[in-house]
Amino acid sequence: MQELGTDLVLICSNVSPVALGGIDRAAADFRELGERAARRGIRVGYEALAWGRYVNDHRDAWEVVRRADHPNVGLILDSFHTLARKIDVGSIRAIPRDKIFFVQLADAPLIDMELLYWSRHYRNMPGEGDLAVTDFTRAVAATGYDGYFSLEIFNDQFRAGSPRQIAQDGHRALVYLGDQVRRREPDARLDLADMPDRAVAEGVAFIEFAADDESAAAIVTLLRAMGFRRVARHRSKSVDLYQQGDIRIVINTESAGLAGATFNIHGATAYAVGLKVGNAQDAVARATGLGAEAFVQSPGRGEAAMPAVFGPGGGVLYFLDESAPLAGIWQDEFIPVDDAEANVPAGLTRIDHIAQTVEYNELPTAVLFYTALIAVEKTPVFDVIDPAGLVRSQVVASGDGALRITLNGAENRRTLAGHFIAENFGAAIQHLAFETPDIFRTAAALVRNGFAPLRISHNYYDDIEARFGLDGDFADRLREANLLYDRDEFGEYFQLYSPVYGEGFFFEIVERRGYRGYGAPNAIFRIAAQKRHLRPEGMPRA
């Protein structure tokens, strides 16, 4: 240590079966250790492991340090050990700041398992898990602590992951955590640049597809069958705007720029999301403060530069607000057109959710990106059953539902999600769910428009009839319209799916009657039906 020029030794509480207990014995040992350390010019910090034999609580470790009463002996705090044992973090606030020598941070998903195994394999970055790391760090900051915060993360995926991505996530997690702490603890001594608060999502302003003429025609056929109408064309670019209710779909067939490059790499894909926020410039400032890369495309003559950043998976997140010239972008840069081929509208009103598929090990990256940037909350990870394997899913959503993004982490290539990202060469939006206030009317309108819904197997309806005790006539109506049904303690949910397009993209139409979930129990039936629609050579059999 002296050769390396370091001055702090970390000592964990003992786990040996032959360890002796006794707080005064430990304090006496530490006092002697402090004496020896002082002669060498080093300090000693003591950390309570959650599974320590006698000391497994930072309050006991602090009592040892307090009784040792030596300037070279201090306390080491680790959020995992404190939070895993549900120890009150308020107890940290009473510790003198000069006795806290070092602070380690880690989060973890809430899993009921043995502490040591949980700690060694499932720790993750602050904000990626379910522990109250912010409250822990607030308590530390309230003492006036101005030392280092260290990420101590043991995680199997991180070991196997991209060091660059892990480092970016770690930096982002610390900046986000520090920003939250700074806002609530005025006495916090954090060396952190100011940044705007998390952007409040007011809604999805548009979704943009990159396509060529041929794939655009296929997407447009589907959109028209769902009642979308081409309402405008860009003044100077090969970009069309389709709309229904508050849903705007932009089809970009430019061969130049990011859309062209995206099409060349991924094929036709929904690669950009326009988000309506309070202040678009602030949103970009926060994103870049969190280490995101700004996307700057030089605007054409008389065009507004729309503030944007690259999101997880390489797609683009645009920000729109009510300020000029962003507020007038559809009027200023697009020319209205009459759509002679349009069908009657089908009652779709807004985007209910956006479903993005990523590699399984990128799921925490994506969740952290959205939660750090936008005022959304995340759900715990839940499993979506695909006949060929598990897909891990997590939702980030604003409290009012203005923005809901379901994130699917695909672990194997034989799942629909895994196939999609393999064939798409990377993460992207895999489905868009539109909301209707009356799904039976919408379903009837779609049939008149020539829309062929995803056909759901008949035994599904026998199953839900029994599972929910549905009225037979009602179940028949669901079956005739190929609707999926779910229910939670808040209400009912109805889902209608398009067939899959290309390598796994699809549309969904939903009606929520108070329901708050996403129809996860229906996924296995839906996915089985979708796989039958994929081209035969495209999908290996489960």
| Site for Mg ion, rule CB under 5 A | 78, 104, 152, 433, 508
- Minimal distance, residue 105 CB to Mg ion, in Å: 9
Task: Give the residue with the Cβ less far from Mg ion, 73 or 216.
Answer: 73
Peptide bond into 364 cis (omega under 30): no
Task: Give the residue with the Cβ less far from Mg ion, 154 or 440.
Answer: 154
For 44, left (φ over 0), alpha (ψ -120 to 50), or beta? Answer: beta
- Minimal distance, residue 284 CB to Mg ion, in Å: 28
Task: Give the residue with the Cβ less far from Mg ion, 37 or 484.
Answer: 484
- Minimal distance, residue 478 CB to Mg ion, in Å: 17
Task: Give the residue with the Cβ less far from Mg ion, 152 or 212.
Answer: 152
- Minimal distance, residue 376 CB to Mg ion, in Å: 17
- Minimal distance, residue 58 CB to Mg ion, in Å: 11
Between helices 133-142 and 163-184, what is the axis angle to 10°?
60
Task: Give the residue with the Cβ less far from Mg ion, 240 or 486.
Answer: 486
Task: Give the residue with the Cβ less far from Mg ion, 352 or 362.
Answer: 352
For the chain, first and last CA: distance in Å? 55
Task: Give the residue with the Cβ less far from Mg ion, 99 or 235.
Answer: 99
Burial class (CB in 10 A: 0-12, 13-18, 19+), 20: exposed
- Minimal distance, residue 47 CB to Mg ion, in Å: 6
Name beta bridge partners: 491. Answer: 488
Nearest residue to Mg ion, by Cβ distance, number only? 78
- Minimal distance, residue 432 CB to Mg ion, in Å: 9
- Minimal distance, residue 85 CB to Mg ion, in Å: 13
Count of all residues that appear for the chain in the document:
542
- Minimal distance, residue 230 CB to Mg ion, in Å: 25
Are the C-beta atoms of residues 406 and 354 closer than 8 Å to each other? yes
Would you give the distance in Å from CA 244 to the centre of its chain?
A: 27
Q: Which of 277, 344, 273, 279 is nearest to 315 (CA)?
A: 273
Write out 142-179 in H/E/C secondary structure.
HCCCCCCEEECCCEHHHHHCCHHHHHHHHHHHHHHHHH
- Minimal distance, residue 207 CB to Mg ion, in Å: 14
Backbone angles phi, psi at 503, to 5 degrees: -100, 20
Are the C-beta atoms of residues 35 and 29 closer than 8 Å to each other? no
* CA dist., res. 318 & res. 276, Å (int): 9
- Minimal distance, residue 498 CB to Mg ion, in Å: 12
What is the DSSP code (8-state) at residue 360?
G
* CA dist., res. 57 & res. 318, Å (int): 46
Name beta bridge partners: 43. Answer: 8
* CA dist., res. 370 & res. 378, Å (int): 9
Task: Give the residue with the Cβ less far from Mg ion, 216 or 534.
Answer: 534
Task: Give the residue with the Cβ less far from Mg ion, 61 or 292.
Answer: 61
Q: List C-alpha distances in Å: 379 to 121, 448, 512.
A: 21, 38, 18
* CA dist., res. 350 & res. 206, Å (int): 10
Task: Give the residue with the Cβ less far from Mg ion, 78 or 386.
Answer: 78
Task: Give the residue with the Cβ less far from Mg ion, 104 or 424.
Answer: 104
Are the C-beta atoms of residues 69 and 75 closer than 8 Å to each other? no
